Structure 1
Amino acid sequence: MASGSGEGKGRRHQDNIPSVVLLELWGHVADDDHRPDATTATSTTSTGLPISVTLCAATPPSLSHLSVDCPGLVDLDPNPSDKFVAPTVISTDADLVLLRVPVDRFARFDHCFSDYFVYKRKAAPSPSPRGRGFADDNIAILSCGNDDDDSYAVAALQPLHHVHFRLHLCRSTPDGKPGSWTSHQLTVEEPLRGTVCPVPDSALRRIFHATTKVITLGGAKGTVGWVDLWRGILLCDVLDEIESPKLCDLPLPLPSKGNWPLFLNRCPYYCRDIVVNQSRDTIKYVEMEFTILNSSQDPRSSYHEWVASQEFRSSHLDILVDGGSWKINTWNMPILVTSWDDWKPGCSVTSNHLDTALHSYMRKIDYKRKNAAISVYKARRIKSNWNNVRKN
């Protein structure tokens, strides 16, 4: 998307853009008061419609968002709260944002009816992988350049069967113009997760890998990690120009004892998350362990002993969680990643460490207010260099 200039009141809130912002997952469809400013970038959709994107920046912890102005978006669905046809932030890296914009009503059913844009100063639209059916959680953007190089890459990992995948890669030119898509069929070289953390017979989800998020480790070879928050990370050096891309399996730490009954039976986002720190030298993993009221597990047993005692079941067990009792454990993995054994325990905190009044307030939050909760939960931290944006 090409950078643009603006006049008048649109510029007033963009004078002091912070170097780091928390970016809301969903873009906002621009209203009648929308005005372009120095952060506005413009392009054209595959259907021939003009589109402009403006960063509405806010100092953290407040959320920033992208304001998208495209006449076709309102025609798709006049309801601005419908997230199925809203512009969506797919991935971020440095000052790059990969944005998916629906261009057809069928985009609510299949993402191939969307266009993909890379938002950056002087950036260009990324070729839309039409017909490929990528899920949002499978795509990452990677900054490949420096001050004199605007190049980037977009990588997507498509599951085929068990340990077999197809890597789709699009590399831009050094001046940031979009390139073409290539694909490589890959097989996980040494699957470790089944040995390190075997799947119990009580698990309802038994597939080898289901990507729930993507992390960008970066480096000279452009390492990207496709994360299954229950099972592990598939690492790939997508920019390695010497060797063909390879998939390496990095299991996550064993689940905390209180979460054994939840393992592969619930959405992992309820109790797990993972990020790469801002300096790109550490992977940080966190797990919240809940107190299970109806658990009969032997407190002396190991995870592997517990797995051996489990039996197959065809439906979910009723698991009652005491919302007032939990423990958070963190783990760190240094980058460059060499072995699963390099996971090191970090800190731990329990609900007993919280102030009683604050804890009671947290339990009274109205979680039915989905927009507010999701916005905070899905906020992404990105580094921006908007002070370098060209101003006309």
Structure 2
Amino acid sequence: MDDYGKEKDMQWPPAPPAYGYPDDDGGGKRPPFVLIDPKAYFADRKNATTAFCDMKAPKLKGRLQVTFCAVAPPLVSYFCVHATHMDHTEFAVSPFIVATETDGGLVLLCVVAGKRPTDAQLLRNRQYFVYDACDCQLYHLPHPGPQHEINGFSLAIMREPNKGTGTCNLHPHGQAEFGHFVVAAQARFFWGKESPQLCIYHSATKTWSKKPVVIDSSREKHSTTKTFTIGGPKGTVAWVDLWRNIIFCDVLAERPKLSYLNLPPALRPRPNMGAGDARSHRNIAVLGNTIKYVEMLPHPDRSSSKPASHRWEVAAWSIQKANRSWPKDWHTECNLDSTHIKVDSGTTAAALPTLSTLHVGLPTVSLQNDAIIYFLAKIDYRQSEHTAWVLAVDMQTKTVTQVAEFCAERTLGLALGYNASSISAYLQTAPGTQRIPKRPGVPLMKCPSKKQSKDARDHKEDDAMVIFSS
């Protein structure tokens, strides 16, 4: 056990996890929300969610196939892509999820053909696809073109509301009465322009268009890192700078005007505030009429102790989504210090990592309106091949309620790995199945790859349990 967590032998590209396919060994009701890996796996997998469409773009040929494998958290769900006339070497990066509808069945995907990862940085190489879980359809959008250069970080997708009611009347596993959708984004050069513009795609017309936006003269500093949709008759989009604020924009209004909402004060101001990827320690989500925000504050032990101790604090706030400009309305829901997390001292094993020795980040709010926050825990945040876990922490009871192993071969650091999404509630299920998948807990549910170290193969599942002590 002395070399537990050392790097495993890898294949590239990695094979998708064995769990969640095919349809959880027979199908069943989908979990109400998932933690989903935004990067696709290259695999020819098919189940009830599989959708196809022809690819018509330079360097893309044949048909694209997309399949979702949804499992209950803390296991991480994933999706697979397969191109009939291309292999993985012809893609600059793995196809990835750009955005999901906040409370609906739409997924916006980006596919980039090319020989180098840097090819993905060029807008002309990016092709966008929309997966509609409600009717299991995949659509290839026309390229925005140089006249609609977009800021990829600001992309959002939503159903276009009914003209009469302002709602889309969409239900899980049912058709929308008004099935058209809208994709919206800031123009590439949005801030600092006298007349900033939105780029909007309407599925009804299958065209991109531009629309001017009104920016208040007292605008604040903002750099979008996350997007979610409020929807409604004006098609409200929220652009989030996880270091600073939220900007709301009614993208379907004739003359959209921006409104600002500052995030709660930081747990502790830091000299490097605004540097690095905020997703390592901050996240936000919308649940019904409430916006929930969570922040972590690491307290690294800079002493010479070995192994190093990694204490951290976490706090969660909420605000009614109708309160778009009153930061004083943020309400503190709970606070937690990692040293207060309850453990069973009788199960401690010195050879295994403990909570205090793991690098922890990527706090993710549960979408079931409970006190659970999910965290990514890694033995070494700098390395992608080491063993990693997803922890479900109950902020009220101060306990780690569930643990699942996470295949971290494709993640570097603690800012990426999965996003919370309600897409699973809309995914098609296999005919004649009603079973609800059992939620995994401790001991770990394994995430095997085709190539593993001899040490990993020799250990039984019970030996792979992490002891979460502080």
Give the alignment's TM-score, normalised by structure 2: 0.61
Give how far 1:149 is off: 2.4
| Partners of 1:17 and 1:58 within 8 A in 2 | no
Q: Is 1:237 matched up with 2:250?
A: yes
Q: Superposition RMSD on alpha carbons, in Å? A: 3.1
| Partners of 1:288 and 1:329 within 8 A in 2 | yes
Give how far 1:41 is off: 1.1
| Partners of 1:162 and 1:209 within 8 A in 2 | no
Distance 2:112 2:431 in 1: 28
In the alignment, which of 141, 156, 178 is matched to residue 149 of structure 1?
Answer: 178
Distance 1:369 1:250 in 2: 36
Give how far 1:190 is off: 5.2
Give how far 1:91 is off: 0.5
| Partners of 2:48 and 2:428 within 8 A in 1 | no
Cα gap change, 1:266/1:237 in structure 2, threshold over 3 Å: closer, same or farther? same
Aligned partner of 1:347 in structure 2 is: 334
Distance 1:387 1:40 in 2: 9
Letter matched to residue 264 of structure 2 = P
Cα gap change, 1:19/1:171 in structure 2, threshold over 3 Å: closer, same or farther? farther
For structure 1, list consecutive stretches of 5 or more residues without a partner in the other structure: 1-8, 78-83, 194-207, 295-321
Q: Secondary structure at the match of 2:144?
A: coil
Give how far 1:192 is off: 5.7
Aligned partner of 2:215 in structure 1 is: 188
| Partners of 1:187 and 1:247 within 8 A in 2 | yes
In the alignment, which of 261, 269, 288 is matched to residue 279 of structure 2?
Answer: 269
Aligned partner of 1:302 in structure 2 is: none
Give the alignment's TM-score, normalised by structure 1: 0.73
Q: Secondary structure at the match of 2:271?
A: helix
Q: Is 1:98 matched up with 2:108?
A: yes
Alignment of 1:1-392 (within 5 A): 13=25, 15-20=27-32, 21-30=34-43, 34-47=44-57, 48-70=61-83, 71-77=85-91, 85-93=93-101, 94-105=104-115, 107-120=119-132, 121-131=136-146, 132-144=148-160, 145=168, 146=170, 147-158=176-187, 159-162=189-192, 165-173=196-204, 179-189=206-216, 191=218, 193=220, 208-240=221-253, 243-257=254-268, 259-277=269-287, 279=288, 281-291=289-299, 324-340=310-326, 341-355=328-342, 358-360=354-356, 362-363=358-359, 365-370=379-384, 372-373=407-408, 374=411, 377-383=417-423, 384-387=425-428
Identity %: 29
Q: Report the structure, 1 or 2, having the larger helix content.
A: 1
Q: Secondary structure at the match of 1:124?
A: strand
Stretch moving more, 109-118 or 132-141? 132-141
Aligned partner of 1:5 in structure 2 is: none
Cα gap change, 1:263/1:180 in structure 2, threshold over 3 Å: closer, same or farther? same
| Partners of 1:56 and 1:64 within 8 A in 2 | yes
| Partners of 1:56 and 1:65 within 8 A in 2 | yes
Q: Which has the higher contact order (CA 8 A, sep 6+)?
A: 2
Give how far 1:56 is off: 2.2
For structure 2, list consecutive stretches of 5 or more residues without a partner in the other structure: 1-20, 161-167, 171-175, 303-307, 349-353, 360-377, 386-406, 433-470
Letter matched to residue 126 of structure 2 = S
Letter matched to residue 427 of structure 2 = W
Cα gap change, 1:262/1:219 in structure 2, threshold over 3 Å: closer, same or farther? same
Give how far 1:114 is off: 2.0
| Partners of 2:259 and 2:324 within 8 A in 1 | no
Give how far 1:112 is off: 2.4
Deviation per CA, 1:155-208: give whole Å up to 9, x if none: 1113434375321111222xxxx6211112324225364xxxxxxxxxxxxxx2
Aligned partner of 1:301 in structure 2 is: none
The number of aligned residues is 324
